[in-house]
Amino acid sequence: MQEKPVLPIDRLTNGEFGILKGILEEKILSEETLGKVSKLYAIGDPSTGSPCDEFHPHSFRCVYYYHPTVAVVHRLLNEIVRYRAIIATVNELNEG
Does the predicted model carry a pTM greater than 0.85? no
- What pLDDT was estimated at residue 58? 64
Residue range 40-92, pLDDT digits in tens = 999 888 888 887 788 777 666 778 888 888 889 989 998 999 999 999 999 99
Q: What does the domain layout of the chain look like in residue ranges?
A: 8-95
Question: CA-CA distance, 38 to 69, in Å (whole number)?
Answer: 12
Question: CA-CA distance, 7 to 47, in Å (whole number)?
Answer: 9
Question: CA-CA distance, 45 to 36, in Å (whole number)?
Answer: 14
- What pLDDT was estimated at residue 86? 95
Q: Which helix (DSSP H) or strand (DSSP E) does residue 59 occupy?
A: none
- Which residues touch 66 (CB under 8 Å, ≥6 apart)? 2, 3, 4, 5, 47, 48, 49, 50
- What pLDDT was estimated at residue 53? 81
